[in-house]
Amino acid sequence: MNGTVVAVSKSATHSFSKPNQKSIQLRSGLGVEGDAHMGENVQHRSRVAKNPSQPNLRQVHLIHGELHNELRERGFNVSAGQMGENITTRGIDLLALPTGSRLYIGKTTVIEVTGLRNPCYQLDDFQAGLMKAVLDRDEQGNLIRKAGVMGIVLTDGEVYVNDGIRVELPREPYEPLKPV
């Protein structure tokens, strides 16, 4: 399974959307250099309030660009970085990856997928109805979260638009993604 980076984004503040960049620098065990969510310990404000010493399993947020297409077809005006993601991809079904999948991006960067992004109310603050649009149900009625995946940086590197992405699945049995 291979894909491509279509956009990279970061924000030094806890703003909802992140401006697109030419490249982003990823730091092992920390996340995206210059991003408000960078750190060994959790940086998301709601999680910091509960336990600031928990490990940061949300160092990098990735969204499949195909989601933006789906949302535009449903009347939303959403583009890369606007839903807070650091890396927008194309060609990889991020939501179908098992926990522990590794994404080899560009020349050196490796990200390990830790889980699903749990959509929050800020989506509706951005555009009314967006939170509901990124939630779905499967045939058994189980909730499907479509707002991307989270990961940790295993190997430093710079990520550029148009970088290739190679997926390496973990050993079986696979553990499905859960919200982190």
Summarised one tens digit per residue, pLDDT across range 75-97 is 999 999 999 999 999 999 999 99
- Residue 56 Cα to chain centre, angstroms: 13
pLDDT at residue number 13: 95
Whether residue 163 contacts residue 106, with contact meaning beta carbons closer than 8 Å, is answered with yes
Q: Give 169's contacts (C-beta < 8 A, 6+ positions apart).
A: 97, 98, 101
Summarised one tens digit per residue, pLDDT across range 113-134 is 999 998 888 999 999 999 999 9
- How much is the average pLDDT of 94-113? 97
pLDDT at residue number 51: 82
CATH of region 2-168: 2.40.33.20
Examine the pLDDT at 137 and tell me if it is beyond 90.
yes
User: What residue ranges in the chain does DSSP mark as E strands?
Assistant: 2-9, 20-21, 23-27, 31-32, 60-64, 87-90, 102-105, 109-116, 135-137, 143-145, 149-155, 157-160, 164-168
Whether residue 90 contacts residue 130, with contact meaning beta carbons closer than 8 Å, is answered with no
Query: Bigger pLDDT: 51 or 30?
Result: 30
Q: Where do the structural domains in the chain lie, given as residue ranges?
A: 2-168
Instruction: DSSP for 124-150, please give it.
Output: HHHSTTHHHHTEEE-TT--EEE-S-EE
Whether residue 158 contacts residue 23, with contact meaning beta carbons closer than 8 Å, is answered with yes
pTM of the predicted structure, to 2 decimals: 0.95
Largest Cα span, the chain: 42
**Mean pLDDT value across the chain:** 95
What percentage of the chain has pLDDT greater than the value 70? 100
Summarised one tens digit per residue, pLDDT across range 36-53 is 999 999 887 777 778 878
